[in-house]
A and B are shown apart, each in its own frame.
Chain A
Amino acid sequence: MILSLVTFLPVLGAVLLCAIPRARESSVKATALVTTIVTFAVSLPLFLRFDLSVVDYQFVEQRAWMPSFGVSYHLGIDGISLLLVMLTTFLMPLVLLSSWHAIEARWKEFAVTMLLLETGMVGVFLALDLFLFYIFWEAMLIPMYLIIGIWGGPSRVYAAVKFILYTLGGSLLMLVAILALYFQHGAATGTYTFDVPVLAQFVLPAGLGQNLLFLAFALAFAIKVPMFPFHTWLPDAHTEAPTAGSVILAGVLLKMGTYGFLRFCLPLFPHASLTFAPWMFALAVIGIIYGAWVSTVQADLKRLVAYSSVSHLGFVVLGLFTLTPQGLVGGLIQMISHGLSTGALFLMVGMIYERRHTRLISEFGGLWAVMPAFSALFLIVSLSSLALPGLNGFVGEFLILLGTFQVHRLAAALATTGIIFAAVYILWMYQRVALGPITNEANRRLQDLSGREWAVLLPVLLFIFWIGIHPATFTGRTEASVQGLITQVQVKAGATAALLAK
Chain B
Amino acid sequence: MSELIVFPAIDLRAIAPALVLTVTGLVILLLDLLPPANRKEHLGFIGLAGVVASLVITLSLWGSDLRAFRGMVVLDSYALFFNLPIGYATGLVLLLSLDYLRRYGIEAGEFYILVLFAAVGMMLMASAGDLIMVFLGLETMSLALYVMTGFFRNRIESGEASMKYFLLGAFASGFFIYGISLIFGATGTTNLEKIAAAITAGAGRDPLLVIGFGLLFVGFGFKIASVPFHMWASDVYEGAPTSVTAFIATGSKAAAFAALLRVLLSAFKAAPADWTMLLWVLAVLSMTLGNVVAIAQQNLKRMLAYSSIAHVGYMLVGVVAGGAFGSASVLFYVLVYTFTTAGAFGVILLLERNGQEAVRLEDFGGLATRHPLMALTLSIFLLSLIGIPPTAGFVGKFYLFGAAVRAGYIWLAVLGVLNSAIAAYYYLRLIVFMYMREPDGPPTVLVPSVSGCLALLVALWGVVQLGILPAPLFDLAQSAVLPLVR
Residues of A within 8 A of B (CB): 65-69, 71, 109, 131, 134-135, 138-139, 141-142, 145-146, 149-150, 156-157, 160-161, 164-165, 168-169, 172-173, 175-176, 179-180, 182-183
A selection of 30 A-B contacts at a CB cut-off of 8 Å is: A68-B471, A135-B389, A138-B388, A138-B394, A139-B388, A139-B389, A139-B390, A141-B388, A142-B383, A145-B428, A146-B435, A149-B432, A149-B436, A150-B436, A157-B432, A157-B436, A161-B432, A165-B425, A168-B420, A172-B421, A173-B414, A173-B418, A175-B417, A176-B414, A179-B402, A179-B405, A179-B406, A180-B410, A182-B402, A183-B405
Q: How far, in Å, is B141 (CB) from chain A's closest CB?
A: 33
CB nearest to B386 among chain A residues: A168
Q: Is the interface of A mostly helix, strand, loop or mixed?
A: helix
B413 touches A176 (CB 8 A): yes
CB nearest to B478 among chain A residues: A68
**Cα of A141 to Cα of B432 in the assembled complex, Å:** 14
B401 touches A160 (CB 8 A): no
**Cα of A71 to Cα of B475 in the assembled complex, Å:** 13
Q: A146-B435, A176-B410, A179-B413 are in contact. Are A165 and B424 (CB under 8 A)?
A: yes
Q: How far, in Å, is A486 (CB) from chain B's closest CB?
A: 31
**Cα of A135 to Cα of B435 in the assembled complex, Å:** 23
Q: A168-B421, A172-B421, A175-B398 are in contact. Are A134 and B435 (CB under 8 A)?
A: no
CB nearest to B435 among chain A residues: A150
In this assembly, does B470 line the interface, its C-beta being within 8 Å of a C-beta of chain A?
A: yes
B428 touches A161 (CB 8 A): yes
CB nearest to A170 among chain B residues: B421
Q: How far, in Å, is B277 (CB) from chain A's closest CB?
A: 21
Q: Which of A71, A131, A142, A180 contacts B405 (CB 8 A)?
A: A180
**Which range holds the interface residue count of chain B?**
20 to 34
Q: Which of A67, A134, A150, A156 contacts B389 (CB 8 A)?
A: A134
Q: A173-B414, A175-B401, A176-B410 are in contact. Are A138 and B389 (CB under 8 A)?
A: yes
Residues of B contacting A176 in the complex (Cβ-Cβ under 8 angstroms):
401, 405, 410, 413-414, 417
**Cα of A169 to Cα of B428 in the assembled complex, Å:** 14
6 nearest CB pairs, A to B = A172-B417, A66-B471, A135-B389, A179-B405, A169-B421, A149-B436
**Cα of A51 to Cα of B413 in the assembled complex, Å:** 42
Q: How far, in Å, is B173 (CB) from chain A's closest CB?
A: 38
Q: Which of B390, B406, B414, B424 contacts A164 (CB 8 A)?
A: B424
Residues of A contacting B383 in the complex (Cβ-Cβ under 8 angstroms):
142
Q: How far, in Å, is B327 (CB) from chain A's closest CB?
A: 15
Residues of A contacting B388 in the complex (Cβ-Cβ under 8 angstroms):
138-139, 141-142
Q: How far, in Å, is B361 (CB) from chain A's closest CB?
A: 13
Q: How far, in Å, is A422 (CB) from chain B's closest CB?
A: 35
Residues of A contacting B410 in the complex (Cβ-Cβ under 8 angstroms):
176, 180
Residues of A contacting B111 in the complex (Cβ-Cβ under 8 angstroms):
none
Could you mark each residue 450-486 of chain B with 1 if its beta carbon is under 8 Å from any beta carbon of chain A, else 0?
0000000000000000000011001100100000000
Q: How far, in Å, is A127 (CB) from chain B's closest CB?
A: 12
**Cα of A172 to Cα of B424 in the assembled complex, Å:** 11
Given contacts A165-B424, A169-B421, 9 further A-B contacts (CB under 8 A): A68-B474, A109-B372, A145-B428, A160-B436, A164-B428, A173-B418, A176-B401, A176-B413, A180-B410
CB nearest to B411 among chain A residues: A176
**Cα of A182 to Cα of B404 in the assembled complex, Å:** 13
**Cα of A145 to Cα of B435 in the assembled complex, Å:** 11
Q: Which of B436, B470, B471 contacts A156 (CB 8 A)?
A: B436
**Cα of A66 to Cα of B476 in the assembled complex, Å:** 13
